[in-house]
Amino acid sequence: MHHRSIRLGNALFSQIAIHALYGGVYPNLAKREHAKNLIPLLMEALASANYKAKSLATSMDTNNANSLATVKELLVREEGLYEQLIEFLKIHPKPDVDAIAVTKGPGLEPALWVGVNLARALSIIWEVPLVGVDHMEGHVMMPMVKEVGSSELSVDSKSFGASSNNYQLKTINFPLLSLLISGGHTELVLSREWMHYEVIGQTRDDAVGEAFDKVARLLGIPYPGGPAISQLAAIDREVHPKPTMKFTPPMLHSNDLDFSFSGIKTEVRKFVDGETPDDEMKKVIARAFEDAVAEVLVAKTLRAVEEHDVQTVVVGGDVSANTYIRLRLREALAKKGQAELLVPPADLATDNAVMIGLAGYFHAIKKVFADPATLRADGNLKLA
């Protein structure tokens, strides 16, 4: 049985406050912020991992002019990134890493390109393999991790079980169903074996996270509105044991596993009729909206579990942080008694580099590498 130890270093820079001024993500601003912050984040992640250098020589000492010329060309469109990278290389030896994983899609393509190009540059300079990772596969992986305590992650690559003192990978029973819920995705993905995916249900219009944000805007709640909607709904549930308003759960009784959230958004719009509700009514509407969304997510998940004899359900994506949706799923699956529910650790429920590194690791042990010369960002990348 093969085991590998992975030293964990994690760093995060959130752009939420910056984009809140625009009421949503502003692509060109996201790209500039990525270029400005990736090198500082790299330094922070390496420092937090207490990484060991492969040699005392700096990365600049071990590279020829041709490599640096190639890197300069790669980063020509990423404002200031080449200059930051050169300064980083002057003082940092090559870390003891076996591969570099990077998100290649889906997402905002201008921002994706910044990360892809930096990863390509580091792969060339450090002469290590490169892995292109599907962002949504990272969300599938993350719920399979549980925190147990220290600084090492030990992975058993054969059975996908692991032991460690920090994060432990669980042994998974197949078939596995992934409910991926975020600002850009609402999908049910079936896996009958490890790292094979079949989309069996998806949204026909708005993603669930997008619907949360749009309803929040109708209620006069600034971006990002999803967490605020959930907070208001929770307050109403504390005050009123039974709901005082109901919205229609969209596509609840359709003969498929697809979703639609544009209709419930329209229902909320018609109810508020262009006026911002008072604080008490905001709580009532938020609860009714979240109730309807949770009901259809749970119902479709249970239907998929029954139809495909699912043994494990994982929930990933930004909306997986929603405590009410987690609760409803947990209760429903426990009552059914067929499938185990796995959710990501609370601090890793939203987008993070750990999930990309985790997915990249399993591609790397299968030697599924990308060519730094040809790896491309794809904003519309599909998991299956």
| Contact present, 325 and 251 (Cβ < 8 Å) | no
pLDDT, position 205: 94
Mean pLDDT of 354-370: 93
Domains parsed from the chain with CATH numbers = 3-129 (3.30.420.40), 169-344 (3.30.420.40)
According to DSSP, the residues that pair with 149 across neighbouring strands are: 166
Distances (CA, A) of 282 to 228, 275, 286: 10, 11, 6
pLDDT, position 25: 55
Token pair recorded at residue 294? 């949770």
Residue 170 pLDDT grade (very low, low, confident, very high; cuts 50, 70, 90): confident
Environment class of residue 274 by beta-carbon count within 10 Å: exposed (0-12), middle (13-18) or buried (19+)? exposed
What number of other Cβ atoms are within 10 A of residue 19's Cβ? 18
Residue 63 pLDDT grade (very low, low, confident, very high; cuts 50, 70, 90): low
Mean pLDDT of 245-266: 95
Token pair recorded at residue 341? 């529910």
Span 74-110, pLDDT tens digits: 999 888 999 999 999 988 888 888 999 999 999 889 9
Residue 280 CA to residue 375 CA, distance in Å, equals: 51
Supply the mean pLDDT for the chain. Answer: 86
| Contact present, 364 and 99 (Cβ < 8 Å) | yes
Span 258-292, pLDDT tens digits: 999 999 999 999 999 988 899 999 999 999 999 99
Residue 35 pLDDT grade (very low, low, confident, very high; cuts 50, 70, 90): confident
pLDDT, position 48: 79
Given a cut of 80, is residue 64 above it in pLDDT?
no
| Contact present, 169 and 155 (Cβ < 8 Å) | yes
